[in-house]
């Protein structure tokens, strides 16, 4: 293929990075959605009248019909475990000391991805009711991490 010769002494690889530093605004919907979590400990959704769906987390548009959504509602702080997994690796791919339970918690027609707490690994069930546990108000910053985890509804 190549007429040029390989030099076995040549540097094999060149090391480098792709520096990406990001700052995200939360958007029209996110700004209000996360303010409600931060200030009031409330999970909000928006209703699409056209499709009769309630988006959680609140969205400013319906992905199905592209209508603008301006009907906001408090959807409560609980939902049901729609599906779950027991995660044994961290973000970087190394083993976790303690495996954690990650779930998609169905709330209305949407839901939230989050971890489950106050529950043993073998106790999680499909459709199990769970509720959000918020950080203390003074520690909330307006992010998904303002919810510490979801736990079984007592």
Partner 1 sequence: MHDRVAIIGVGWSGFRPVTPELSYKELIYEAAVKAYADANLDPRKDIESFVTVAEDFYEGTSIFDEYTPDQLGAVLKPVHTIGGDGLHGLATACMLILTGQFSVVAVEGHSKASNVKTLPQVIGYAQDPILNRPLRFNNHFIPGLDMNRYLFDTGTSLEQCASVIVKNRRNALVNPSAPYGADLTLEDVLSGEPTAWPLNSHQIAHHADGAIVIVLASADRVHSFTDKPVWVTGVGWCNDSPALENREWGEAIYAREAARMAFRQAGMLNPGRAIDFVEVDDVYGYKELQSLEAMGFFRRGEAGKATEEGFTHPDGELPVNVSGGSQGFGDLLDANGLARALEVVLQLRGEAGPRQLESVSTGLAQSWRGVPSASGAVVIMSGE
Partner 2 sequence: MRKVAVVGAGMTKFVRRALETGKELSWQAARMALESCELTIDDIDAVCLGTAPDSFDGVHMNGEYLSDGSGAWRKPFMRSYVGGGTGVFVPIQGWYHVASGLFDIVLVVAEEKMSSYYPHAQAAFLTIFDHTTERPLKPNLLWIFALEMNRYMQTYGITKAEIAHVAVKNKRNAADHPCALLGDPNLTVEDVLNSEVLAWPVNRLDVSPVSDGAVAVVLAVEHVATRITDKPVWIEGVGWNLDTAHWTNRDLAYPRYVEFAARMAYEMAGIKEPRREIHIVEPYDPFDYKELHHLEGLLLADRGKAPQMVVDGVTQRDGDLPVCPSGGLLGVGNPIAAAGLMKIAEIFWQLRGEAGARQVPGQPKRGLAQAWGDLMQVGTVVIMGR
Partner 3 sequence: MSDQIAVYPGTSLSEDDILEGKVLSIHDKLDGRYAWDTGIAIGQYLAGLKEGLILGAYCATCRKTVVPPRIVCEWCFRPMTRYVPLKDTGTVNTFSLCYVTWDVKRIKKPEIPAVIEIDGASPLHGILHKVGEIDPSEVHVGMRVKAVWKPPAEREGAITDIICFTKLNTEV
Residues that bind partner 1 (CB under 8 A): 1-2, 6, 12-13, 16-18, 20, 22, 24, 26-27, 30, 55-57, 63, 82-93, 99, 102-104, 110-115, 126, 143-145
Cα 73 from Cα 84, distance rounded (Å): 26
Does position 94 interact with partner 3 (CB under 8 A)? The reply is no
Closest residue by Cα to residue 26 from 148, 150, 149, 146:
146
H or E element, residue 35: helix 27-35
Among 35, 42, 61, 102, binds partner 2 (CB under 8 A): 61
Does position 113 interact with partner 3 (CB under 8 A)? The reply is no
Q: Choose from partner 3, partner 1, partner 2, none: what does 73 bind? Cβ within 5-8 Å by kind.
A: none
Q: In the bound complex, what is the minimum distance in angstroms from residue 145's beta carbon to partner 3?
A: 10
Using alpha carbons only, give the angle 30, 100, 55 rounded to the nearest 5 degrees. Answer: 25
DSSP structure class, residue 136: P
């Amino acid at each position: 293929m190549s007429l040029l010769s390989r030099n076995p002494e040549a540097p094999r690889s060149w090391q480098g990075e792709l520096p990406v530093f990001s700052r995200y605004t939360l958007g029209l919907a996110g700004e209000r959605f996360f303010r409600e979590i931060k200030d009031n400990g409330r999970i909000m959704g928006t209703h699409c009248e056209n499709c009769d769906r309630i988006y959680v987390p609140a969205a400013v548009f319906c992905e199905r019909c592209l209508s603008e959504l301006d009907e906001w509602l408090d959807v409560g702080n609980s939902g049901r475990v729609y599906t779950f997994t027991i995660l044994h690796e961290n973000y970087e791919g190394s083993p976790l000391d303690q495996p954690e339970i990650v779930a998609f918690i169905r709330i209305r027609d949407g839901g939230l991805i989050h971890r489950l707490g106050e529950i043993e690994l073998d106790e999680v069930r499909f459709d199990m009711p769970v509720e959000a546990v918020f950080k203390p108000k003074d520690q909330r910053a307006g992010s998904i991490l303002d919810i510490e985890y979801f736990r079984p509804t007592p």
